[in-house]
Chains A and B, each alone.
Chain A
Amino acid sequence: MSTATAPAVRPPSNQSSLRHRLAERGVDRTLWLLLPAVAFIVLLFMYPFLYGLGLSFQPSHGGGIFGNYAAFFSDPYLRNTIWKTLGLGLPAALFNVIASIPIAYLMRGKVRGKRLLTTLLVVPITLGTVLTAQGLIMYAGPTGWLNTVLLDLGIIDEPLTLIHNWIGVFLSLIITGFPFAFLLTLSYISGIDPALDKAAATLGAGPMQRFRTITMPLLAPGLVITFTLSFVLAFSVFPSAQLVGDPTGSTRVMSIAAYDAAFQQFDFPMGSTMAMIMAVVMLVVIGLVMLWRTTLYRGATGGKG
């Protein structure tokens, strides 16, 4: 009985019910507004990326589909760019995040001059790595003000070699990276409800204990994000490694090698291969960090965050 009536009842409403069912899941005409953005991301991001991926399997010097990858990993000069990149990116990101914590902690409440400080810190980021590099060449060079001061104060006898080596690139990564890490950390730390700190104080926790048991655990997931983003910034270091580094030796990072392959030797397949390896290395590091993050508390921090 019921099987006989059910189909008889349904047909009239069928046409509208499909539209309804789609509308319920959010599929309606409004979605057309997404079209330009989706077309854009597909054409200018996904397609080039996949094209590059495809290109990396068509080596211009033979060697089968994995020829480029084999060439990269068998040549120590190329292979070592991975370690050089990580050797710059990881310490720089770590330094920036760790240095940000105490300063952000000091500035977490309403502090006079907070806006001024954050404004000043934005300056090096907006100026960018190219200007920082040029500034470092002038300021930290053998006859620059920094060495002049140190020599005049008698702290050193010989000018320090601070540019055209690892230190130069590291310094440039700190100048642009530290403000970035600090501003992010500050926004995370401001998102922690100050009442939690007060509650811990009424329960008898001292300043250090409060920092260790309340602030840090709530801040940790944010710090992980900050670290990841700082790492991404430091990882792609290009202009400063080229300008204040030693682009053929100690600071020959992956981006330089990839650029050289693609636009100096015009071996686009090899350039794409290195770009892909770069992406993979970066994703591996981010993946590991994020995996670790899942072990941390990630709920609400009670603040405006």
Chain B
Amino acid sequence: MTDNHFRELRLDGVSRAYGSQNALNDLNLTISGQEFIALLGPSGCGKSTALNCIAGLLPLTGGSIYLDDRRIDTLPPEQRGFGMVFQNYALFPHMSVRKNIGFGLKMHKVPKAEAAKRVDEAVALVQLQEHQHKAPGQLSGGQQQRVAIARAVALHPPLVLMDEPLSNLDAQLRLEMRMEIRRLHQNLGLTTVYVTHDQEEALSMADRLVVLRLGVMQQFGTPEEVYDHPANAYVAGFMGYRNLLELDIVTADAEKVSARGKHIALVGANRESVTTGRAIAAIRPEDFTIGATDGNRIEVTVDIAEYHGRELSVQASTADGLSIYFRTSERVAPGDHVVLGVPAHRVLVFRSDNSIDADVQQTTEDAPAGVGAGGPGTGR
């Protein structure tokens, strides 16, 4: 019953409120057929709300959704014909693996012979041939998630929705499953919307990604765009700019900004056309070098040095107590005085937004699992 391909899925001002709280605010998004889109943000940012709205599991409080020219937000989920993979798998515990995968085909009254063939295909696709007659409870977490994926794709749905499908798996398995999902997406020509709080997962899997914060879209672009050109300090914080330093602007033109704090002065690239007042300078830990003096120069004392194999991940502080995070291959120890250098084009200057601090703080608290050493952090 489903045509596997569509040109575009258009979200038009999609909003969802709970009482007076806006979980999702005026989301405009156009997804092309066969794209892999990641919705990225910390918990409570509205990414799962957006996914459930697309699925039809949550009614919208505003806006509309179109699949090509057909309005679909008024249809119940069972009539949209999308596939969905849930974080906790949500397998039917009273049915065998085969029955789980074949459930959608049965609901759509696919003839028995045809259904059996397609279940066989789906089982083979996720390599569960030897487990197909078991009950879901007898499988490991990774195997269960394969079943859930097979169940979602068995109908060849035009759109597959995935709600943090890997967050219940351990690190090693997560890497394997990432590859596998990406492989399925390409081989089956699927269109996928993938929700995650792990920016590494989003960057490595998606064709384009959407960064959300408090129900509002912050940036929509390819991984390169979002990673290299974050739209604001919040996105920068999420993309591994662990140092977010709030400074006073001294001079600013269209290209460059020079700003200073008590014991620190930086020149950076003007990314949000700031002019005067406060600004935020975002710097990645790996962009610092020890001892290089051309460009910006920061004097710090090492507080903590974490061993990461080839590199050390260091937390240090300036004379006025500002924390600086950097990575280095040189051996430093707590108490060492170090001079750090960073080229001006590696310092991104954004508008200062008072709510950012509190918000980024929440990021680190809510999503500790996915944020590695390069994850977001407070810049103070």
**Interface, chain A (partner B; CB < 8 A):** 13, 17, 20, 23-24
Contact = CB atoms under 8 A, between A and B. Distances in A.
Contacts of A20: 59, 61
A24 B18 contact: yes
Contacts of A13: 62
A13 to B, nearest CB: 6
Interface residues of B, number: 6
A5 to B, nearest CB: 16
B59 A23 contact: yes
Given A13-B62, A20-B61, A24-B19, 5 more contacts: A17-B61, A20-B59, A23-B59, A24-B17, A24-B18
5 contacts: A13-B62, A17-B61, A20-B61, A23-B59, A24-B17
Interface of A is mostly: helix
Nearest to B63: A13
Contacts of B61: 17, 20
Contacts of B62: 13
Nearest to A17: B61
Interface in B17-33: 17-19
Contacts of B59: 20, 23
B260 to A, nearest CB: 40
B297 to A, nearest CB: 50
Nearest to A25: B19
B111 to A, nearest CB: 33
Contacts of A24: 17-19
Interface in B44-60: 59
B46 to A, nearest CB: 16
Contacts of B17: 24
A24 B49 CA distance: 14
Contacts of A23: 59
Interface string B158-176: 0000000000000000000
Q: Which 8 A-B pairs have the closest CB atoms?
A: A20-B61, A24-B18, A20-B59, A23-B59, A24-B19, A13-B62, A17-B61, A24-B17
Contacts of A17: 61
Contacts of B19: 24
A147 B19 CA distance: 72
A26 to B, nearest CB: 12
A114 B59 CA distance: 51
A23 B18 CA distance: 10
A23 B61 CA distance: 10
Nearest to A13: B62
